[in-house]
Structure 1
């Protein structure tokens, strides 16, 4: 689903104006993004957690030139689903 499809689905289920939902969804995503960047975990009970995860320095390979390259230590955004959410998806 795209963001537009999510907004439309919420509007159909709740009857709330699409523009209000769009602002709310965009605001929620911005809050999650800012929190993860600031090294905070965002947890939704029964759904999962968003946080940043550290990747260690490693040796990679440039496949075009077949040479080794160093991939420096860096952070990636990460989502860890809850057991309840995983169970719902599994049984659907």
Structure 2
């Protein structure tokens, strides 16, 4: 499912226009991004938790030359599914 299909699904289930569903989805994504940028978590009970994790600096290899390179530490978004979501899938 892509974003367009998700917007159509939300619009049909919530009985709202596709434009309103698109704005709602965009607002939700923006809220998650802003919260994660602050280093906080977003928990949607029954769905899951979005959080920020720090990946340590490490040494990697340039695949073209085989030369060792340093990879900086980085913040990465993580998602942990909730129990209800896990149960729905299984």
| TM class by smaller structure | over 0.9
User: Could you tell me which residue of structure 2 aligns to residue 49 of structure 1?
Assistant: 49
Q: Tell whether 2:40 aligns with 1:40.
A: yes
- Structure-to-structure mapping, 1:1-16, within 5 angstroms: 1-16=1-16
Distance in structure 1 (CA, Å) of the matches to 2:63 and 2:22: 42
TM norm structure 1: 0.92
Count of aligned pairs between the two proteins: 90
The runs of at least 4 consecutive aligned structure 1 residues that moved more than 2 Å come to: none
Q: How far, CA to CA, are the matches of 1:27 and 1:17 in structure 2?
A: 15
Deviations 1:19-76 (A, max 9, x none): 1111111000000001001101000001111111100011101110001011111111
Q: Displacement, 1:88?
A: 1.6
1:83: Cα distance to partner?
2.4
Gaps of 5+ in 1: none
Q: Give the equivalent residue in structure 2 for 1:26.
A: 26
